[in-house]
Amino acid sequence: MTWKPRLADGTAPVLVVLVVLLVALAFAGPAYSEPAGYLALLKRAAPLVILAIGQYFVVVSGGFDLSVGSLVTAEVVIAARLISGDDGNTWWVIAVLLGFGVLVGLVNGLITTKLLVPSFIVTLGMLLVLDGAVFLWTGGAPRGALSPSFRVFGRGAVDVPVLGAVPWSVLILLAVLVGAVLFMRGGTGRTLIAVGDNENAVRLAGGRVHRLRLLAFVLSGVLAALAAILLAGFAGVSAQVGQGLEFRAITAVVLGGVLLGGGRGSVVAAAAGALSLEALFSLLNLVGVSGALESAVQGVIIIAAVAYAAHGAGLRRAFKRRAAPALP
Amino acid sequence: MNRKWTVALTSAAVTALALAGCSSDLPDTGSGGTSTTSGAKDAKKSEFFDQAEYERQLKFRSAKGVDLDGENAQFKPWQQALDPKLVDTAKFAKPGGGYHLCFSNASVDNPWRQVGFKTMQEEVKLHPEITKFSVLDAEAKDDKQISDIQSFASQGCSALIVSPNTTATLTPAVEAACKTGVPVIVFDRGVKTNCPVTFIHPIGGFAFGADGAEFLKEKVPSGGKVLALRILPGVDVLEQRWAAANEIFAGSGLKIVGVEFTDGDAAKTKSIVNDYIQREGKIDGVWMDAGATAVAAVEAFQDAGSALPAIVGEDQQDFLRMWAKEKLTAVAPTYPTYQWRTPVIAALRILNGKQVPQEWVLPQPKVTQDTLQNYIKEDMPPLHYAMCGCDQMPGYPAPWK
């Protein structure tokens, strides 16, 4: 038996898109002729990629998490307020932030599974609640400041042999990605996809559907917290930091060929989708396309990717059937 | 998951995406924008450029402020007026105190407006003759502000202060308020009518933009590369800032390598600046129409290991501190938050029958290397605006923290 790269259905197209974009970048900007340029791109993209991985868990199990953007904002504002510029506060605040991510994920998950409210509505509500809470608490302007040791994760780099200075955020991203891939190849991960595909089948087979859904939301919440730590480190305090991130994450997941509604798509593809999105924005910027186009491009991508997902699989099947006449 | 659901969910997601696009249309920048929309503009001659107004504003910068009571108010720029044309207010005179001051505020949704509003509240406390101060926050919604102003009509206000959310939409509401016989004071952003007793504002966008551009022209050698970062298009005071800078850069020998919109987002600013550093190799100057993301821009240079450019910021503490710490070549034009004190002062003058300027133009100083240390307040929050004129007020600093 020959070895075949185990790419899930739909992963290949986004990888092709990503490679094309990266090559285009090399032509558009001289900085992308060296690893440093790509490392800078990865560093910038890391928070979005992590968010997309979190979003993937929810989407593939048949839900949506629209609350991640405002969760990121809330986390950044909380971090600034609690740390208030003191290095001594860094570690326990990071623990609090991750804990808050888990909590929000739990609430989203429990309401979805126990009260049977569609996740689209639950997380939309959570988005509004968090937005309102942040505004109420800060009145629109975050107070406090982040400490230098907190910002290291988003700004700093470590020296790695051969590669040179590798940003912390890239290492954290790699760890998350490897963890996510291992998780999805394990039994729980596979059942998670099955839940998105056919919840009843999983239930009849003895799978704990509610627990898996809950887990997906918790993972999304905690990864959003992690993304917030990286973003705050990268760019500093702002009350707008998370605006629109939930849609970027969903766009990234869709671009990765993950089926909205669940049941199909790989986590690697979702991550690649996020990276492609970020590379695309960099490319648009480098070739001098106005920033106003970003939203439009995002919209076109989401529509085109879903259309492809809806028809692409059918076309492929039709092609295969014709190529290989069916056995009786 | 069947096809029907997929379609439903997808269309929902797309709709939501479109809605998100709308809601993030106009993140109010605080720096007093009357948001009249306009088409995209190119970097040539701005439709917002008005030669006469441009010259008037540049001239104002060197004008000496007049204190209306003839006191020496050198250190109280919020009491000064530039080139005032006084109007008579005898018909509004209501001496004796017991005033009920009403304030229709556009919003308090950004640090600039927050610092300003706190300063205004403290100013009110300084005057015991104001016995009631009613405030309605329009939350950046025109329709809410219109009904706010209407509801003040029945509340027995002695004077009405309005900080309009947008220019054109609020004009009829202000005109209606004028007709009730209550003295109306407009400040920060304007309306298209002369009916208010006074309109209070700093010099304006052209002067702000010119302050930064002239600084870069002086500090960046000819042929140097300048990156212009703007928050968002279509807000007239911001457009004026860029129009003035564009005018000054035009004959300067500086090379404008890019004009980009940042949405006031620090992460986006950093990404844009990083891309430009990679593309151009070296950037010698950064011009900004507002300094809220100046720190992020400088950080992009630090993270890329590049030499720090000459930079234009604003009077926010985080930028001023970085300026001192990193020994930046910098200037900070301001849109002073102390202007929030003036409407209260104006209201009391009017109620006492004293004259006020029809257009009360306040001085608009800039922070320079020489005056930097006067404005750094280490114990204040990073987003606090230094030009608040508040540090001598009795309650300082607690309310601003």
Tell me, yes or no, whether A94 lies in a domain.
Answer: yes
Q: SS3 for B310?
A: strand
CA separation for the pair B297, B280 (Å, rounded): 15
| CATH superfamily for domain B66-203+336-362 | Response regulator (3.40.50.2300)
Q: Which domain holds residue A199?
A: 11-323
Residue B175 has pLDDT above 90, yes or no: yes
Residue B114 has pLDDT above 50, yes or no: yes
> pLDDT (tens digit, 9 = 90+) per residue, A105-147?
999 999 999 999 999 999 999 999 998 898 888 766 777 888 8
**Facing residue for A303 by CB, picked from B14, B27, B272:** B14
Residue B204 has pLDDT above 80, yes or no: yes
Number of structural domains chain A divides into: 1
CATH class of the domain defined by B205-333: alpha beta
Tell me, yes or no, whether A260 lies in a domain.
Answer: yes
Residue spans per domain, chain B:
66-203+336-362, 205-333
Tell me, yes or no, whether A302 lies in a domain.
Answer: yes
Tell me, yes or no, whether A130 lies in a domain.
Answer: yes
- Residue type for position A253: V
CA distances from A80 to A12, A68, A94, A238, B27 (A): 41, 18, 11, 9, 22
Residue B72 has pLDDT above 70, yes or no: no
- Distance (Å) from the C-alpha of residue A2 to the closest C-alpha of chain B? 33
Chain A hits for B3, Cβ within 8 Å: 310
278-337 of B, contacting A, C-beta below 8 A? 278-279, 281, 295-296, 299, 303-304, 318
Instruction: Report percent pLDDT > 90 for chain A.
Output: 48
Band (pLDDT 50/70/90 cuts) for residue A324 is: low
Band (pLDDT 50/70/90 cuts) for residue A61 is: very high
Band (pLDDT 50/70/90 cuts) for residue B26 is: very low
Tell me, yes or no, whether A4 lies in a domain.
Answer: no
Q: Which residues contact A240 (CB under 8 A, 6 or more apart)?
A: A73, B27, B263, B264, B265
Q: Which residues contact B197 (CB under 8 A, 6 or more apart)?
A: B87, B89, B92, B183, B184, B185, B346, B350, B356, B358
Domains B66-203+336-362 and B205-333 share a fold: yes
> pLDDT (tens digit, 9 = 90+) per residue, A229-267?
999 999 888 878 888 899 999 999 988 888 888 888 899
Mean pLDDT of B121-134: 94
Q: Which two tokens stand for residue B70?
A: 């003839």
**So what's the pLDDT on residue B16?**
45
CATH of the domain at A15: 1.10.3470
B223 CB within 8 Å of a chain A CB? no
Q: What is the ipTM of this complex?
A: 0.77
Cα-only R_g, chain A = 20
Chain A hits for B272, Cβ within 8 Å: 285, 291
Instruction: Report percent pLDDT > 70 for chain B.
Output: 88
Tell me, yes or no, whether A1 lies in a domain.
Answer: no
Chain B hits for A282, Cβ within 8 Å: 271, 275
Check CB contact under 8 Å for A260 and B6: yes
Band (pLDDT 50/70/90 cuts) for residue A223 is: very high
B267 CB within 8 Å of a chain A CB? yes
Tell me, yes or no, whether A2 lies in a domain.
Answer: no
Residue B328 has pLDDT above 90, yes or no: yes
- CB of A37 closer than 8 Å to CB of A260: no
**So what's the pLDDT on residue B371?**
93
Check CB contact under 8 Å for A236 and B266: yes
pTM of the complete model beyond 0.90: no
B257 CB within 8 Å of a chain A CB? no
Higher per-residue confidence, A296 vs B315: B315
Residue A179 has pLDDT above 90, yes or no: yes
Average per-residue pLDDT in chain A?
86
Higher per-residue confidence, B73 vs A300: A300
Check CB contact under 8 Å for A145 and B278: no
CA distances from B117 to A326, B133, B137, B292 (A): 76, 13, 11, 18
**So what's the pLDDT on residue A36?**
76
**So what's the pLDDT on residue B264?**
83
Check CB contact under 8 Å for A261 and B5: yes
- Distance (Å) from the C-alpha of residue A116 to the closest C-alpha of chain B? 17
B121 CB within 8 Å of a chain A CB? no
Q: Which of B3, B5, B7, B10 to mutate to test the interface with A (most CBs of A within 10 A)?
A: B10
